Amino acid sequence: MPETNFKNTASSIIPDDPEQSAYRFIIVAAKRARQLQNGARSFLPTTSKKPTVCAMEEVRRGLVQYEDIAIQRIVAVPEE
């Protein structure tokens, strides 16, 4: 069985954008994968049977919309 280097695999999937968090990417992709498992239609035509692969590709391409409530909380805090 060929050995896969996880670091190279992860770096090719997770966007390298300083404004994007790898943790946020994983959480959004996981929630999207759950939607796909529950019957939601994919935004992309794909040959992959795995919902996690489809979900990560959709998130990487920016097809999945989400709100970052942590940033909204920081903005909403009044300054004294």
Q: Render each residue's pLDDT in the chain as its tens digit; 80 residues.
A: 444 444 445 445 666 566 667 888 889 999 999 999 999 998 988 777 899 999 998 988 888 888 777 666 565 555 55
What domains can you pick out in the chain, each with its CATH number? 6-76 (3.90.940)
Q: How many CA atoms lie within 13 A of 68 on its CB side?
A: 10
Task: Show the CA angle centred on residue 37, arms to residues 41 and 3, nearest 5°.
Answer: 110
